[in-house]
Amino acid sequence: MAAHTVLVLGNPTARHLRLLDELPPETSVAVGETLEAFKSLAPTADIIFHTTTDAALWPALLEMTPNLKWAHSLWVGIDKLLTPEFKAGAIPLTNARGAYSKSLAEFCILGILFQAKNVRRLLRQEAAAHWEKFDSTEIYGQTLGIIGYGDIGKEIAKRGHGMGLKVHAMRRNPAQSAGDPLLEKSYGPDQLHEMLAVCDYVALALPQTADTVGVIGAKEFAAMKRTAVVLNVGRGTAINEADLVAALQNGTIHSASLDVFETEPLPKSSPLWAMDNCFISPHTADNTHTWLDDSTRIFLENFKLYAAGQPLRNIVDKQAGY
């Protein structure tokens, strides 16, 4: 097996990077958070493993690696890495698609039940030792619409379908969902409002691209049922937050369960914090006990394929942005 050189952009003390010890012993590895850490190995490096959320060094690192053959991101979102030069080049980029999908799908189910069963009221009554019965919503037979039917969207569909929800999905190419046993109906982007009108729950699982920023705004909220619940586990920029605040305040929709926001951390000045009909998670829905190890193992599995000259998994469409 030929020897390879891997540059790992990230914290050398990060626990999940201990798994890199499983790389073949002839592999040269440099781990660091500065360009200086890669100075000696960069000219011969053929692999970059990007493990930080900060992409400030990315362009300079690409310039230092003339023999680069493959780059991998520890994360699913790769929009910060898609510089014009890198997008135009032939170097493949892979990501951690699949590592976080199940936990994000579980959060969506939590977000649905939190609103349907009025958990906030239950907790408030429990804290006050106050016994008062009230009605809640049965989700069985209701309709869940998923915007973005990729790996995360499909995991959401599995769980929703298993709980008796009728699942609809919007994706760029709805023909790809023909015969999908999880879906009652699929829609194209030009049919978004048609789907929103029939959904009791609307889950967003979109990557960040030029086409997805602000895809849900005032017109989309107006197209929803007044009883609709909005969930977002994709990117915060997919929802116009000012329009969301207005929709929640005005009763245009019922409620929202959110793991991601336009600005993170969510500013303390945001009206969302004080809203009883908004359930907030600090972008932590996929932070399981093993999430970083799981993601690192995707890199290790791809390394085996790369070293054997076999096709890589999770190749990103750099033009589409995911």
Convert the pLDDT of each residue in 161-188 to its tens digit.
999 999 999 999 999 999 999 999 999 9
Neighbouring residues of 124: CB distance < 8 A, sequence distance ≥ 6 = 130
Whole-number pLDDT of residue 2:
81
Average pLDDT over residues 195-212: 97
Question: What's the pLDDT tens digit per position in 136-148?
Answer: 999 999 999 999 9
Report the C-alpha gap between 64 and 67 in whole angstroms: 9
Q: What is the CATH number of domain 5-99+289-307?
A: 3.40.50.720
| Contact status, residue 150 vs residue 268, Cβ threshold 8 Å | no
Architecture of domain 101-280: 3-Layer(aba) Sandwich (3.40)
| Contact status, residue 174 vs residue 188, Cβ threshold 8 Å | yes
Residues 12, 13, 18, CA angle at the centre, nearest 5°?
85
Query: Over pLDDT 90: what percentage of the chain?
Result: 99
Domain extents in the chain: 5-99+289-307, 101-280
Burial (CB count within 10 angstroms: exposed 0-12, middle 13-18, buried 19+), residue 40: exposed
User: Which pTM was predicted?
Assistant: 0.95
pLDDT at 322 over 90: yes
Strand segments (E) across the chain: 5-9, 28-32, 47-50, 70-73, 93-94, 143-147, 166-170, 185-187, 201-204, 229-232, 255-258, 278-280
pLDDT at 121 over 60: yes
Q: Which residues pair with 255 in a beta bridge?
A: 229
Question: Could you check whether 5-99+289-307 and 101-280 share the same CATH topology?
Answer: yes
| Contact status, residue 247 vs residue 258, Cβ threshold 8 Å | no
